[in-house]
Amino acid sequence: MLLDEKIATRQSYGEALAELGEENKNVVVLDADLSGATKTSIFAKEFPERFFDMGIAEQDMMGTGAGLSTFGKIPYVSTFAVFAAGRAYDQIRNTIAHTNANVKICATHAGITVGEDGATHQMLEDISMMRTLPNMIVMSPSDDVQTKWAIKEIANVNGPVYVRLSRLATPVIYDEGFVKENNIKFEIGKAIQLGDGTDASIIATGVTVSEALKAQEVLKEKGINVRVIDVHTIKPLDKEMIIKCAKETKRIITIEDHSIIGGLGTAVCEVLSENFPAKVTRIGINNTFGESGKAEELLKKAVDMVKKKGFAKLGIRSFAEYAGISTQPIYDAFCNLKQFNEAVILSINDLYEDFLKTEILKSNYPPYKASGLAYVNFARREPELFKALFMRSRKGESGKREDESFNKIAESISKAYGISYETARKFHLEMWLIVHGFATQIATEYLTLPEEDVSDILTDSFNAFMKLYKGK
């Protein structure tokens, strides 16, 4: 169903505007100094006389758009969602919605997927704000095809419309073949059912529809059949579809790139509470502002989760919930769960190596004994990180690092004590097994030996093994 091709809906918006401008001479476009990012520049290039760059003056832009609509023009006003719904809310409410002005507010860079644009640019409340306004239609198209359809269709609607668009490139869902094969029709206020699952219904909107379809495939492999409902129009909401899903599948899951307060999940709950009460699980942003950062910053937070909950609890979905973000930034940084987990392990390994160096430098013991004690102390102080590193399969890049470290230590033992490399490797392995035994017992709280006792036992073991191996 999902194509490999990915297109950002803001790009689709710009292209649709240019096509619409050719079809309808009353279409005008206004932007607030962001035409390159919102892609209204495509329209501006084709129809410069009908394009107005209002500068960094979003409130003025909304008022101007309302004014143009009184002269029979169809204004499409564009800026980032945080500026459209946030900074210009008063003008939207009183000048556009209250007067039922024929203005199309097309807000790009919505949701948490704006990534490194910054946490303040992650508009997570716009659906809630816009759907409460009388006269306002609220739409959140899921892909390139749907966006182009929506942008053209709303030109035929007499009244205000808010269209939520993404910065992120998302998979194309509704290619021509798929639409024809499944007899799919796009209609404002009518959701689209994808799949005939009977075990549960996943109700999604915007960029999360493609994620829901991925989940559908994963669940299918496990014998769980779910349907995906693409709610491209959040207001007016397709009540019939939602009630139908509740009656037929009983289990409802909503997913959105938005706060679960006042967004799609809330809208679905409102419908069901009044018509067919059913349990709804809402997946979205959990009463928090967004965070922005690079993959390295995601990894820091992931390591923090491992410290508190253990490596076994770490997954894409569980981490997204822990971090209070959507899964999309994680998939932007890492291809899959395997790559994500491996990156987390490498980050933990870096922490361990830093810990080891610090402990050896401040220790009064010889380096080899100091490193053994540091290993045990790491297990004592960070038991979950220790388990993640040393109580798992030694596969992947992290396993290679550990093998390299093991060989380097064996080389240093060989030189320091005048024994062959192979003998040093065997000596180090046997000592490591003893040290690892202590560390494992301490990490799992099976033993509570104080550091002094561990030190004495390691000293005795070292002296005994060295006497044995030097004699060989």
245 CA to centre of own chain = 26
Give the residue among 142, 145, 61 at the shortest CA–CA distance from 104: 61
Q: How far apart are CA 355 and CA 123, in angstroms?
A: 39
Q: How far apart are CA 282 and CA 264, in angstroms?
A: 9
Total length of the chain: 472
* Residue 209: C-alpha distances to residues 2, 9, 255, 327 (Å): 10, 13, 8, 12
Catalytic residue among 15, 58, 256, 382: 58
* Residue 414: C-alpha distances to residues 265, 397, 418 (Å): 64, 26, 6
Those residues whose C-beta lies under 8 Å from the C-beta of residue 166, and which sit 6 or more positions away, are 8, 9, 10, 108, 109, 110, 111, 113, 206, 207, 257
CA quadruple 205, 210, 214, 220: dihedral sign: positive
Identify each DSSP E strand in 190-340 by its residue range: 192-194, 200-204, 226-230, 233-235, 252-259, 280-285
How would you class 33 by CB atoms within 10 Å of its CB: exposed for 0-12, middle for 13-18, buried for 19 or more?
Answer: middle
Which pair of structure tokens corresponds to residue 85? 């719904």
Contact call for residues 338 and 419 (beta carbons, < 8 A)? no
The letter for the amino acid at 374 is A
Long-range contacts, 461-464 (Cβ 8 Å, 24+): 461/431, 461/434, 462/368, 462/369, 462/431
* Residue 63: C-alpha distances to residues 25, 77, 93, 95, 109 (Å): 21, 10, 11, 6, 22
Q: How far apart are CA 36 and CA 107, in angstroms?
A: 14
Which pair of structure tokens corresponds to residue 254? 């909503």
**Is 58 a known active-site residue?**
yes
DSSP string, 166-186: -SSEEE----HHHHHHTT---
List residues with catalytic annotation.
Answer: 58
